[in-house]
Structure 1
Amino acid sequence: MHRTRFDEERHLSPIQPLTERQGQYLEALASHAQVIVLGPAGTGKTFIAGTRAADQLRQRRIAKVVITRPNVPSGRSLGFFPGTLEEKIAPWVAPLTEAMKERMGQAAFEIALKTGDIEIVPFEVMRGRTFKNCLVILDEAQNTTTAEIKMFLTRIGDDCQVIINGDVSQTDLRETSGLRTVIHLVKSRMMPIPVVEFTRDDIVRSGICAEWVKAFEETNL
């Protein structure tokens, strides 16, 4: 792995859970190669994933961090947008990268991105890739089809940790979400993959955020 001046890093305390389910999430990340985390916005699931990735990279426990997500919300292929593939997808993964920057520091993050220790990969170019000795985060997984998430899960090589992050109630697909299919397979086949399910009671972002989630859920919007 390229040196990214982590020797100059700040001394940071381990992540402390704010809720019981955050504690379960952190325990799952510490003990399993693959973790599925579900729930509404504001529960900390993306922040914890980004912070975990930053810590693993800073401590040189992995060679790189790979971040990806499906491109459904734009309604168009990334080819319609200007810039490199990395520049096109960057706004969509900002919650994850901002968490990493906060943990690592802006300069260390930018160096790691430049040297390839952090890689932002558009989901539409994942086919044919194999990932080894890295931490891979699939964000907004509810917007993958079954075929797409199957493709993703069969790209994972040795010494990888995979975090699959999503909210099945917020899919933009007209067909069955691949994330929902994966959850069914894990539970029905009793696969050794923890599924951590946050609820609106776990929202830590703000009181008003929790109120909005509750309002939309209770009116089925």
Structure 2
Amino acid sequence: MPELLGTGDSVIREVESAYPEVDIHVRGNRIMLSGDEAQVAAAATAVDELRSVLAAGVPLTPDIARESVRMLRGVQGVASAAAAAAGGSGASDRPTQVLSRSILSSRGRTIRPRTEGQAAYVAAIEQHTITFGIGPAGTGKTYLAMAQAVAALQAKRVNRIVLTRPAVEAGERLGFLPGTLNEKIDPYLRPLYDALHDMIDPESIPRLMEAGTIEVAPLAYMRGRTLNDAFIILDEAQNTTREQMKMFLTRLGFGATMVVTGDVTQVDLPGGTQSGLRAASGILEGVDDIAFCRLGADDVVRHRLVSDIINAYSANEQRPEGERPMGQQRRFERRDSHDRHGREHRDRPARTQEDDE
């Protein structure tokens, strides 16, 4: 019961907030629900589903409870949820089946998909040779792909892992970077190293990299290669050009699996350059054995505010240009005056803050 309720009753409070017309009382090992009959039935189904998730070995958190309720609401009514529990057509929508699926157990913890969208993304990687994971920050695109790569290596389905991303500055010029070539490109590849350290013993990573079992390299190093029996991940693919994306995809060899991840709303390419990820999603849609998984704000597994931020930006971008809130502007009025030497200033056009910048 303490695990079902969560720390400070945080888990059961998520159920209570999802069904505000239901009063939930806990006494000993009993949970009593009262209120609107339909709402009570839905809340009872949510509690039963959380018990199943807990029995499957998944520690309950407020995020897990929130996602479980959201998935249950996607099922058409309590009858449809019962049919899914009995193995009906909606079985894949059951939170227990989605949230209890294990991808990789490493370093004392288990990596699992935490949303329905993430579960579909993981399944697509297993079933297709090339998978595109497109979505905003925090949806686990790179992390889950990395977990799948490590799992495939441990199961000997592939002989090596190749991790790559374009070396593009994120909106600011860093200028000259000191050090050797590897030291110059290391900052661009650091996010891949971070995910790798979460899944593999850090002491064994240098040995695996020296043996070529794990390779982390910028995208420019991929030209001219054929990658057989490898699990290849291209991260930050929205910063590839159309030509770079074509070059990368044609590196595919026999027995290889490719995962391409990116967020088309965060392109750092120079103005006017078409994103290779956006181009590929239009060109390759419908090609056999290539899957496109589009994750959204509901799949964000970072801080709750990240999802709210993504939704706020999306809503703002859909508004007409004239209705978007603008930053503060200063305007200097045009006037004729004399300086302290008595010379008359020429009439100058008004200057705005944008001109100063």
Work out whether the TM-score is over 0.5: yes
Partners of 2:165 and 2:218 within 8 A in 1: yes
Q: Identify the residue that residue 4 of structure 1 maps to in structure 2.
A: none
Q: Give the whole-Å Cα distance in 1 for the aligned partners of 2:199 and 2:171.
A: 32
Q: Give the whole-Å Cα distance in 2 for the aligned partners of 1:67 and 1:83.
A: 22
1:143-178, CA deviations, whole angstroms, 9 ceiling, x for partnerless residues?
A: 111111111111121111100000111112222211
Q: Show the 5 A alignment for 1:149-188.
A: 149-173=245-269, 174=271, 175-187=273-285
Q: Give the whole-Å Cα distance in 1 for the aligned partners of 2:180 and 2:252.
A: 25
Q: Identify the residue that residue 211 of structure 1 maps to in structure 2.
A: 308
Q: Identify the residue that residue 165 of structure 2 maps to in structure 1.
A: 69
Q: Which moved more, 1:53-62 or 1:162-171?
A: 53-62
Q: Identify the residue that residue 3 of structure 1 maps to in structure 2.
A: none
1:89 aligns with 2:185: yes
1:126 aligns with 2:231: no
Q: 1:11 to 1:201 in 2, by over 3 A?
A: closer
Q: Give the whole-Å Cα distance in 1 for the aligned partners of 2:151 and 2:281.
A: 27
Query: Runs ≥4 in structure 1, deviation > 4 angstroms?
Result: 9-14, 74-80
Q: Show the 5 A alignment for 1:12-161.
A: 15-73=111-169, 80-161=176-257
Q: Give the whole-Å Cα distance in 1 for the aligned partners of 2:250 and 2:132.
A: 16
Q: Give the whole-Å Cα distance in 1 for the aligned partners of 2:316 and 2:132.
A: 27
Partners of 2:107 and 2:200 within 8 A in 1: no
Query: Displacement of 1:37 after TM fit?
Result: 0.3
Percentage identity across paired residues of the two chains: 38
Partners of 1:78 and 1:88 within 8 A in 2: no
Query: Displacement of 1:117 after TM fit?
Result: 1.0
Q: Identify the residue that residue 195 of structure 1 maps to in structure 2.
A: 292
Question: Which amino acid in 1 is paired with 2:131?
Answer: V
Query: Displacement of 1:67 after TM fit?
Result: 0.9
Partners of 1:86 and 1:122 within 8 A in 2: no
Q: What TM-score comes out, normalization by structure 2 length?
A: 0.54
Query: Displacement of 1:47 after TM fit?
Result: 0.9
Q: Which moved more, 1:94-103 or 1:138-147?
A: 94-103
Q: Give the whole-Å Cα distance in 1 for the aligned partners of 2:109 and 2:191.
A: 21
Question: Which amino acid in 2 is paired with 1:51?
Answer: A
Q: 1:83 to 1:59 in 2, by over 3 A?
A: farther
Q: Which moved more, 1:55-64 or 1:150-159?
A: 55-64
Partners of 1:85 and 1:122 within 8 A in 2: no
RMSD over aligned Cα, in angstroms?
2.6
Q: 1:208 to 1:74 in 2, by over 3 A?
A: closer
Q: Give the whole-Å Cα distance in 2 for the aligned partners of 1:82 and 1:39.
A: 34
Q: 1:59 to 1:98 in 2, by over 3 A?
A: farther
Partners of 2:136 and 2:263 within 8 A in 1: yes
Partners of 1:148 and 1:178 within 8 A in 2: yes
3-state secondary structure, aligned to 2:290: coil
Q: What TM-score comes out, normalization by structure 1 length?
A: 0.85
The runs of 5 or more residues in structure 2 that have no matched partner are: 1-104, 318-323, 325-357
Aligned residues between the structures: 212
3-state secondary structure, aligned to 1:165: strand
